[in-house]
Amino acid sequence: MVSSKRNILLIAGTGRNVGKTLFACRLIEKLKCENELVCIKISPHFHELSKELEIISETDNFVIAKETSKTGSKDSNRLFRAGSKKVYYVQAKDDYLHEVLSYFEKTLSPETPIICESGGLRDLIEPGLFLMINKKNNNNIKPRAVGYRKLADKWIEFNGEEFDFTAKKIAFTTNGWEIKN
């Protein structure tokens, strides 16, 4: 069962290094004065975590950590540096994303604007906005991303420097995330 989460803007990509975090950072920079944003970056890949991350919850199937440093080149550092009030980095197997989602439902208000970078979460929620990012001329699109294309509110192309859609067209309102006309 897919639940509606109007306060979540979900960003997924057609592969690695397609501009997901850069787009999120531009959106955060645009909105940070208006809202107290929380960012969540979810990765299905497990690796040793940096010492700057504060482990919040850990099982054999997922790790939820809070970013504490704005310095560094990790995506979570970049999101924090861009102006997100809090940044969480999550490593989770797809089968356990519902547990991760449950944690954040208990700890964050449903009115909190959240920018979440995750593909797999789209199978569990209907976000306020779902953005798919593709690197221009990418012919190696992940099969899962092909299916997500029809679910995306906006398909965004990235040429390596600029996007064909601007973060300025996105707003967080009392109704949740929306694309402005």
Q: What's the pLDDT tens digit per position in 51-84?
A: 889 999 999 999 999 999 999 899 999 999 999 9
Distance CA 75, CA 109 (A): 24
Distance CA 106, CA 93 (A): 20
Distance CA 156, CA 82 (A): 20
- When pLDDT is cut at 50, 70 and 90, the band that residue 13 belongs to is very high
pLDDT at 33: 65
CATH fold of the domain at 3-179 = Rossmann fold (3.40.50)
In total, the chain counts a number of residues equal to 181
Domain residue limits, the chain: 3-179
- When pLDDT is cut at 50, 70 and 90, the band that residue 45 belongs to is confident
pLDDT at 34 over 70: no
